[in-house]
């Protein structure tokens, strides 16, 4: 306070700050960056024009050219993805320049210019007769020709050679009497059904016999003779069930050289393989 008790005046200093003024501002940098970007795009365009062919430039122009259809290039799909338009059916580009589809869809043509498509519509491959036999045998298409209990002894697989039908023994249900080529009732029943299934086609049949390994203490190992004898007996049973002899292409005994599981002495390795050979 002053000498006579008068309060001293309060002085407030206001500092004026100038932002972005003069050459210290940053607005010119944004403009310069836009200029450099435009120049780079220009030089890229010039380089592309010089480096691409006329056909490639036409493809780029078609891609960026606006058209009535939703999708200018038919890429193989249906509906809007295949070039369908909500405006007009007559202006659809049914054949695009960059499509990859070579077949005709059910709803609308969506052909692609690959240069390799045929003149007509590509036909679907006919069903494999071996697949029909396989489905009928195991019931994948409905009723099975093999009873549920017998189905435990049947495994099928389709290979390049043909349809392999594997009949194998289980510890409580052998296919042949132990150490002989005498078939059990189970083997008789299985071959009746297999013969019925193979009559659906005319493919030749190969028969291959496999047996489990025997102890090495045996003086004479019977695996070769036993596997061949069981394969021969299988042929006889098939012919008894109306399988023509002319369809038997080969009979092979593999002894114990091709086990189905790691334990070579397991009963599971006693098996017969019937192969419907491809024509």
96 bridge partner residues? 112
pLDDT for residue 55 is more than 50: yes
Q: How many CB atoms lie within 10 A of CB 140?
A: 11
CA distances from 247 to 27, 205, 251 (A): 91, 6, 11
Q: What is the pLDDT of residue 26?
A: 73
Q: What is the pLDDT of residue 238?
A: 95
How far is the C-alpha of 110 from the C-alpha of 74, rounded, in Å?
A: 6
User: Mutual orientation of helices 185-198 and 129-138 as an angle, nearest 10°?
Assistant: 140
- CATH number for 129-277 (one of 3.40.1410.10, 3.30.43.10, 3.30.70.1890, 3.30.1330.60): it is 3.30.1330.60
Global pTM reads 0.54
Q: How many CB atoms lie within 10 A of CB 266?
A: 15
Q: What is the pLDDT of residue 38?
A: 93
pLDDT for residue 226 is more than 60: yes
pLDDT for residue 143 is more than 60: no
Domain regions of the chain by residue span: 27-112, 129-277
Per-residue model confidence as pLDDT tens digits over 90-130: 444 444 444 444 444 444 444 444 444 455 555 666 778 88
Per-residue model confidence as pLDDT tens digits over 233-248: 999 999 999 999 999 9
Q: Which two tokens stand for residue 62?
A: 């078609």
Of 30 and 109, the structure prediction assigns the larger pLDDT to: 30
Q: Do 137 and 156 meet the contact criterion of CB atoms below 8 Å apart?
A: yes
Average pLDDT of span 184-210: 92
């Amino acid at each position: 306070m002053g000498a006579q008790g008068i309060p001293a005046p309060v002085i407030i200093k206001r500092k004026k700050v100038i932002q972005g003024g003069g050459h210290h501002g940053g607005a010119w940098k944004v403009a310069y960056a836009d200029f450099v970007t435009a120049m780079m795009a220009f030089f890229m365009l010039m380089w592309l024009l010089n480096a691409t062919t006329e056909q490639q430039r036409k493809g780029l122009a078609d891609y960026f050219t606006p058209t009535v259809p939703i999708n200018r290039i038919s890429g193989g799909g249906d509906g809007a993805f295949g070039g369908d338009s909500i405006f007009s059916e007559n202006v659809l580009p049914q054949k695009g320049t960059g499509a990859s589809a070579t077949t005709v869809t059910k709803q609308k043509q969506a052909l692609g210019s690959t240069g390799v498509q045929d003149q007509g519509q590509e036909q679907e491959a006919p069903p494999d007769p071996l697949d029909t036999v396989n489905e009928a045998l195991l019931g994948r298409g409905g009723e099975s020709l093999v009873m549920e209990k017998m189905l435990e002894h049947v495994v099928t697989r389709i290979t390049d050679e043909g349809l392999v039908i594997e009949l194998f023994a289980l510890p409580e249900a052998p296919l042949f009497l132990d150490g002989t080529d005498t078939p059990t009732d189970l083997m008789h029943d299985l071959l009746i059904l297999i013969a019925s299934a193979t009559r659906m086609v005319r493919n030749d049949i190969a028969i291959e016999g496999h047996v489990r390994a025997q102890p090495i203490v045996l003086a004479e190992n019977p695996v070769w003779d036993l596997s061949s004898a069981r394969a021969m007996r299988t042929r006889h049973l098939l012919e008894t069930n109306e399988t023509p002899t002319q369809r038997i292409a080969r009979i092979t005994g593999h002894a114990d050289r091709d086990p189905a599981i790691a334990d070579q002495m397991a009963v599971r390795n006693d098996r017969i393989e019937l192969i419907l050979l491809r024509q």
